[in-house]
Structure 1
């Protein structure tokens, strides 16, 4: 469902906007009246911006670095003069395996992928929102804070929950809301950029099947969400309809609280 003009006059930055949930959030935000900067490491994010129309722009950078996050916020200010809403969507487990099977560099990579882009972007946008007198940050966490075969990813998403709550408390009086959704398993089109660029070996395929069975079995409804079922709560929390909600992490996982 599209809410016409819900975001008219708002500038939104959506990270991880080239595919999946981020792509859907960006396209719907434009349809609802926003000016949107679509940010992604993948250069085909420009194709999504072109699909969105003349109120959208694309910016390609590496949000696993602070310089990339700062550059994205500068680009939004240069293009639209302000940032009303930041939606932090970058992340995703790279590997599925028992924790004892992770190599140290693989642990680091999971934290770098699923925590640091959100941490960096929150920090980078704060000066802008403080100058404006307010703003909204929506972080995309996960119910996988309780789950198997992805402990480093779970730890990263637990960090996002803590960041959401602490940042909301620290900057609430400055007019900055910070909220999060915690999606469960979601049915999405095949990724253009793969989750694990090295590919899964035979053992990892088995471990992935274990994780999928746990995710599905833990939900009350015994199925994955659709993309739309994840997009709608993110945009609700970003909107003025949620103006008295801050510091909250909303589970969107078919009853599984994570």
Structure 2
């Protein structure tokens, strides 16, 4: 463990989509600051991430769940609460564009898959955790959105993340006086290791690669800094919103895209 501050000492935190990428980084960093973390994912890789935290002296355990269904979310939140003794912080990180292509090239099945992946896990987990936080007298929810609410070649994903933003603000308005803060962080393009389990494992042809490159080019062009962010930069923003350092912040969408506000 490192010598950073211990903002989350004694806090019980759930991080979804924690097997890879931003979610994994958030779980690692939160544990390093004292949180007892439940890492939730449908990939078995989440067990490796939890084991790494424990090996480093932190407190963590893994839950395998498919959060695209209400039942999966309810079971995961109930299990985490039982082990943690309650939930102080929920970071809803599940999501991510599956296909990158102009809207007219999406079919019905693909559009529905994008919405199920990037909206419903956040919706279901917010619904599952809210009664627990209200009963406890407070809590902090951080939803991971995206600056791709304004972007090309991922309209269904953009729509899902726009809905996450609306969910965040409305839920914050309903629950601020009950002690539950709800915020969102909207990452821009982020450098990360190659995903061990890709969102889309289909072979990409030349056209698919061109559409993907157009997304990369647009993302860098609309960032004032003309670069992708790092996992650490995204995690820092998410954990700020989760922490008591942001105790007077709720209903806020924080863009972390090098100046691109989405």
Same fold (TM over 0.5): yes
What pairs with 1:1-258 in structure 2 (closer than 5 Å)? Answer: 3-53=4-54, 55-258=59-262
SS at match of 1:208: helix
Deviation at 1:197, TM superposition (A): 2.2
CA RMSD of superposed structures (Å): 1.0
Provide the C-alpha distance between the structure 2 equivalents of 1:232 and 1:3, rounded to a whole number of angstroms: 12
In the alignment, the residues of structure 2 paired with residue 209 and residue 130 of structure 1 have an alpha-carbon distance, to the nearest angstrom, of 44
Query: Structure 2 CA distance, aligned partners of 1:42 and 1:193?
Result: 8
Which whole-Å CA distance do the structure 2 matches of 1:248 and 1:242 have between them? 11
Stretches (4+) displaced over 6 A = none
Q: Aligned pair count?
A: 258
Does the CA contact (< 8 Å) of 1:77 and 1:83 recur in 2? yes
Secondary structure of 1:113 counterpart: helix
1:4 to partner: Cα distance: 2.5
Structure 1: which 5+ residue stretches go unaligned? Answer: none
Query: Separation in 2 of the partners of 1:248 and 1:133?
Result: 21
Write the deviation string for residues 15-61 of structure 1: whole angstroms up to 9, x where unpaired. 00001000000011111001000000001201100000151000001
Q: Is the 8 A contact 1:225 1:253 kept in 2?
A: yes
Contact residue 2 and residue 28 of structure 1 kept, 8 A: no
> What's the secondary structure of 2:94's corresponding residue?
coil
Partners of 2:116 and 2:4 in 1: how far apart?
Answer: 35
* SS of residue matched to 1:36: strand
